[in-house]
């Protein structure tokens, strides 16, 4: 069921209050990707158990698979069923038009990422399109997130080692962050400090000192997000949340556990064709991943619903 404009604005107001609480109380909100209902249930159960606010997010491919309005309705239904504080984020949306559709559908958080579709997009293109989304989002109050360049990796399991010398060339800088925020008017800056999309055979390393310098120069009221949180040692999250990060994205860690657990329960039950009966084990495994992240982010007990 479509939300009224007043309902959408009420929700985006609460979302802005959540980000304000995160900044003031030094915790980060977990933003967890879904591509199926089972993962959504696992996130909801973790949020309910730990009384934590959460973001559910969907990328362009996940929107195409499930449907924009369907995702909105599913999330709303589970908010009521579990009595939790949960919001919707459009993750790495490659076009202005897709962002506008999500804003109209009542998504509280919007991530516009022009360089996702075009790695060679110019600075002018990225700023222009990001500004257009920021202006459009003012109608509902949705928070807009972006970054000035392509963010590496992919939300999958990788076998290759991390080439940190190459990655360091794309690190954010304090000067670049302030310039981009001033040029676009975004609410949330997606920082690159060693975080990388996907799960790798070696742990990721975050430059917390760089993060601190970025945080120190950000205008008041602005947020920092970290993408590519999977495969990161938990102590980095604890430090990052204390140094101004308000939102951390997790995807591959959940996908990996989902698939591995499902493969095992299918192998253990070769004659069971009602797969739904086997899914509770999968829920529990994914829920454990979400709970682990929530504890590291410092967001347990921070929900107000």
Query: What average pLDDT does range 45-54 have in this prediction?
Result: 98
What distances in angstroms separate CA 131 from CA 124, 127, 156, 159, 271, one per listed residue? Answer: 11, 6, 30, 37, 55
Asked if residue 113 lies in contact with residue 130, where contact means CB atoms within 8 angstroms, the answer is no
Asked if residue 188 lies in contact with residue 145, where contact means CB atoms within 8 angstroms, the answer is yes
Given a cut of 80, is residue 195 above it in pLDDT? yes
User: Is the pTM for the entire model greater than 0.85?
Assistant: yes
Given a cut of 90, is residue 2 above it in pLDDT? no
pLDDT for the residue 199? 76
> Of 10, 35, 91, 220, which residue is the catalytic one?
91
Asked if residue 232 lies in contact with residue 204, where contact means CB atoms within 8 angstroms, the answer is yes
pLDDT for the residue 290? 98
Given a cut of 90, is residue 116 above it in pLDDT? no
Domains of the chain plus CATH, in order, are 5-297 (3.20.20.70)
- Say whether 207 is catalytic: no
Q: Would you place residue 207 in the very low, low, confident or very high pLDDT band (cuts 50, 70, 90)? A: very high
**Hey, how many other C-beta atoms are within 10 angstroms of the C-beta on 120?**
7
């Amino acid at each position: 069921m479509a939300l009224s404009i007043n309902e959408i604005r009420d929700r985006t107001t609460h979302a802005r209050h959540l980000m304000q609480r995160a900044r003031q109380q030094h915790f980060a909100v977990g933003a967890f990707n879904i591509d199926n209902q089972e993962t959504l249930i696992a996130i909801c159960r973790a949020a309910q158990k730990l009384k934590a606010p959460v973001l559910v997010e969907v990328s362009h491919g996940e929107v195409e698979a499930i449907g924009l309005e369907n995702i909105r309705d599913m999330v709303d239904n589970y908010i009521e069923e579990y009595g939790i504080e949960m919001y919707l984020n459009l993750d790495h949306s490659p076009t202005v038009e897709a962002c506008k559709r999500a804003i109209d559908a009542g998504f509280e958080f919007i991530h516009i990422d022009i360089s996702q579709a075009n790695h060679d997009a110019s600075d002018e293109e990225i700023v222009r399109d990001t500004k257009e989304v920021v202006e459009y989002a003012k109608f509902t109050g949705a928070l807009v997130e972006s970054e000035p360049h392509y963010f590496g990796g992919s939300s999958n399991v990788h076998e290759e080692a991390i080439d940190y010398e190459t990655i360091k060339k794309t690190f954010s800088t304090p000067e670049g962050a302030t310039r981009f925020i001033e040029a676009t008017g975004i609410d949330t800056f997606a920082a690159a400090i060693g975080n990388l999309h996907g799960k790798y055979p070696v742990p990721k390393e975050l430059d917390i000192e760089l993060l601190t310098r970025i945080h120190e120069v950000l205008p008041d009221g602005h947020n920092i997000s970290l993408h590519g949180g999977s495969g990161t040692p938990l102590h980095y999250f604890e430090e990052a949340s204390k140094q101004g990060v308000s939102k951390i994205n997790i995807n591959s860690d959940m996908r990996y556990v989902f698939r591995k657990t499902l493969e095992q329960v299918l192998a253990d039950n070769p004659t069971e064709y009602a797969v739904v009966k086997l899914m509770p084990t999968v829920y529990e495994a994914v829920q454990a991943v979400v709970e682990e992240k929530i504890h590291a982010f410092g967001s347990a007990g921070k929900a107000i619903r």
